Amino acid sequence: MHAIGIDIGGTKIAGAIVDQLGNIVASDRVPTPAGDSTLLEDAVVQMIDSLRARAEEEIVAIGVAAAGFVDAAQSTVYYAPNIDWRNEPFREKLEARVGTAVVVDNDANAAGWAEFRFGAGRLVSDMVMLTIGTGVGGAIVAGDRLFRGGFGAGAELGHLRVVPDGLACGCGQRGCIEQYGSGRALLRMANEIADAGGIGQGLARVRSEHGELDGRLVGEQIAAGDAGAIAALRQLGHWLGQAAASLSAVLDPQRFVFGGGVSVAGELLLEPIRAAYLEHLPARGYHPEPDFVIAELVNDAGVVGAADLARVWVAEHAGTPRR
């Protein structure tokens, strides 16, 4: 029961053959053809053919993950910011070209599903994953199933509002947690702290040497224990914990999993999250509480999750005509 997972990112397309235990049997990677959806489709087909040529078992399904909104039927991409797609029937198109069952899903959903099946969420039935990358992605698993929402656009957890009339967000609103809890927010906070002088000279020093701080520089300062960089990370955790408290009132997960580039900070990130969560949890003490852990499948979560979602779809729909 091998399946192929494809993860279409902004700069590269990653693909892999994944077995039923989540192991990667073979993998591939090419640059994302910029701004041309036909070239992109060709590149995906070519990667599938190339992986299939290396397959040792039958490939039962193909899962594709991409940033954006995908309908609840895992077929049509309403909108994908990295590609020129609006209401694109990608599942149908790709199945016609590759002759195998295809499902399409949101990349954060795929990553969350991979953690649930093979990583940090494998011991629980209900988890929430927050992917702290440039933005804040979300995935919800409830009752052992991926939660997609009525139109497939659910679990956009980065757009939970935490501050009325707050900072402007790329979604067109203001005050979304993405502006307070993402990698981009970390950079903003780190630059502010560096410009404000004071302790944590590491930040201020690299700021004056390199100009605007980027993720690598801030990450190095966190790793080096610079107090300014750690203070920025604490501010992130402060907000993420507050958002998690609201999410608990709605979703009540057994576990929160934090992934994405910023999650390599580990306990330095989790500790302020837990503190803020407990301080802001409604009805604290009247019901069980979740735990907070770091994701395990950092780089491969997208392809592994996409492949497994495809395999699950095939298993559930074996012998069932599509709609």
Residues 160-219 that bind its own copies (CB under 8 A): 160-164, 167-174, 176, 178-179, 184, 189, 192-194, 196-201, 204
Kindly state the smallest distance separating residue 232's Cβ from its own copies, in Å: 8
**Interaction between residue 286 and its own copies (CB under 8 A):** yes
**Bridge-partner residues for 18, per DSSP?**
3, 24
Site for its own copies in 10-69 (CB under 8 A): 69
For its own copies, the closer CB: 52 or 188: 188
Q: Which of 15, 137, 152, 219 binds its own copies (CB under 8 A)?
A: 152
CA-CA distance, 256 to 323, in Å (whole number)? 34
Counting residues that bind its own copies (by CB under 8 A) gives: 90
Stretch touching its own copies by CB under 8 A, among 20-28, 55-63, 96-104, 243-251: 243-251
CA-CA distance, 106 to 306, in Å (whole number)? 9
Kindly state the smallest distance separating residue 70's Cβ from its own copies, in Å: 9
Q: CB within 8 A of 259, min separation 6: which ones?
A: 111, 115, 129, 130, 131, 132, 294, 295, 298, 301
* Cα–Cα distances in angstroms (integers) from residue 171 to residues 60, 130, 162, 183, 206, in the given order: 37, 17, 14, 16, 32
Stretch touching its own copies by CB under 8 A, among 109-117, 262-270, 276-284, 305-313: 276-284
> Are the C-beta atoms of 63 and 5 separated by less than 8 Å?
yes
**Interaction between residue 260 and its own copies (CB under 8 A):** no
Stretch touching its own copies by CB under 8 A, among 41-49, 58-66, 154-162, 300-308: 154-162
> Are the C-beta atoms of 19 and 323 separated by less than 8 Å?
no
CA-CA distance, 300 to 39, in Å (whole number)? 24
**Interaction between residue 153 and its own copies (CB under 8 A):** yes
> Are the C-beta atoms of 27 and 16 separated by less than 8 Å?
yes
Q: Which of 25, 45, 73, 124 binds its own copies (CB under 8 A)?
A: 124
